[in-house]
Amino acid sequence: MSRSLFIPEGYKPKLTIRQTQHAIKYIKDIFQQALSFGLVLDRVTAPLIVQKGNGINDDLNGVERKVDFSIKEMDIEAEVVQSLAKWKRMALYRFGYQPGEGIYTDMNAIRRDDNVDNIHSIFVDQWDWEKVITEEQRNIETLKETVKAIVKAVAAAKRKVSIRYPQLTSTICETPYFITSQELEDRYPDKTPKERESIIAKEHKTVFVMQIGCKLRSGEKHDGRAPDYDDWSLNGDLLFWNDTLGMALEISSMGIRVDSQSLQSQLAECDALDRNKFPYHKMITDGTLPLTIGGGIGQSRLCMLLLEKAHIGEVQSSVWPADMVQECSENGITLL
């Protein structure tokens, strides 16, 4: 088939469809409890849509088309969110949260331009979280300690799931290996970013690749990042080695958010200084919005990892190409 689909040799799901549905709920229940406890987060409600043109919707890599539509009663245009990176920081300000306090929410999004394969879907579901920090906490140690807390929550969820379903035999390394995107390029200069990630994840099992968004010495980026939410010097991606697929699986993208200085520097680098007209960006520049750290944790990808599934469609309902559905069916992979 023309699309990227990988069928692991000899793959057979370890859980029935009904067991899988039960396990998905179990994982989502226990993991969000562990996450909220470990990071001191309150559960809040969040929007599926936001008003178009107010600068709140996430631009991701800056090229993805948003799903937009008109609203009959309001005479305005709305957009389906792509993530809640900016909305969360605004919410912390509006709700009066203080340093050390934070929020998390279930985020559902549609990313119409995403490729569909074993680990990508146009439907995105994740736990979006955000926490207020102080100026003194805007450093790499805060980032690393937060990553360790998230890994601890993932490992705890895996242990509980494996007790309930002993046929699930993979394990989670609880000690993350930290490396910058430049160090990774220096180590494997002849590999692509994704190849580098799989090599390092296979070796260390749990890896956090830091400093994503700026150009590397090669002139290429490790991966794209919007210039107005993460500080590119204080962010990263959390990867776990996926035994089922034999590859690195990104579970979370996160980071310390931009302050006034890093916002202007990154907007200038991306030729996006026109965004300073939006209220969100003005509130960062004038210091109205709190300093924060935050990220998203993929719910379906976490379920994939813990339930040892070969395709994200085994743990979420979405829309798939007809030839992908057929090939998966022929190889024992049931897409929900």
Tell me the catalytic residues: 58, 111, 126, 237, 250, 253
Between the CA of residue 62 and those of 8, 82, 148, 228, what are the distances in Å?
Answer: 33, 11, 30, 11
Spell 307-331 as b/e; 16+ CB within 10 A means b.
bbbbbbbbbbebebeeebeeebeee
Cα–Cα distance measured from residue 108 to residue 29, given in angstroms and rounded to the nearest whole number: 17
Place of tokens 């989670």: 172
One-character DSSP codes across 137-193: G-SHHHHHHHHHHHHHHHHHHHHHHHHH-TT------SSPEEEEHHHHHHHSTTS-H
Q: Which two tokens stand for residue 8?
A: 């692991």
The residue type found at 267 is L
